[in-house]
Amino acid sequence: MSAEQRRAMIVAAALPLVAEYGAAITTSQIARAAGIGEATIFRAFTDKEEVLAACMAEALSPGHVLNELASIPLDEPLEVRLAEAAEAMRAHLERIGMVIGNLHASGHRRQPTGEQPTQGNREASMNALRDGVTELIEPDRAALRLDPEKVSSIFLGMLFTQRRRPAGDGDPELTPQELVDVLLHGALNDPGIPR
């Protein structure tokens, strides 16, 4: 196993623990989850801070969600493709929120300089996500009033701006199907009837 593969394996084992416990996890817990000796962690990473930074970078990386978007069959109806994309995006955003939220809640405030997300990285991630959603919309280009790129941007904007509500708030968030329905058909019962 290469050093990069070992690091990736350790991060994959640590990420769920970081999402649950934040910075309170120990390298011994990570080693048990990875099925390795604790010393192996320190051959791959200089310290626990570096493991936490790698976990944060992995959580922020769009790679997993892009793979999910790419696996959505293009022969499904557009509504189905976008609802599946919304579910994948929500899972991605929840994972980011859990990792960053629990790291912050557990007192972790420091990111090593090399691991800080930059504006360029965020932009590249957003462009990759928009391109992934655009590919899902592209087969229906002829049926759309807007270019698939614009529809993709609107779709992502709707997803990213939904406020997370505590259970029982009385104002439930849109389901993926409702979000897609409003995106594709608007909010009016019959948009063709003048008011």
Which domains are assigned to the chain?
A: 1-48 (1.10.10.60), 61-185 (no CATH)
pTM, two decimals, is 0.78
Cα–Cα distance measured from residue 6 to residue 44, given in angstroms and rounded to the nearest whole number: 7
Angstrom CA distances, 104 to 57, 72, 101, 142, stand at 15, 34, 5, 46
Contact assessment for residue 55 and residue 15, using Cβ atoms and an 8 Å cutoff = yes
pLDDT tens for each residue of the chain, 195 residues long: 888 999 999 999 999 999 899 899 999 999 999 999 999 999 999 999 999 999 988 988 899 999 999 999 999 999 999 999 999 999 998 888 888 888 888 877 655 444 455 566 788 889 999 999 999 999 999 999 999 999 999 999 998 887 565 555 566 778 889 999 999 988 888 766 665
Q: Do you know the residue count of the chain?
A: 195
Select from 129, 143, 149 the least CA-distant residue to 86: 129
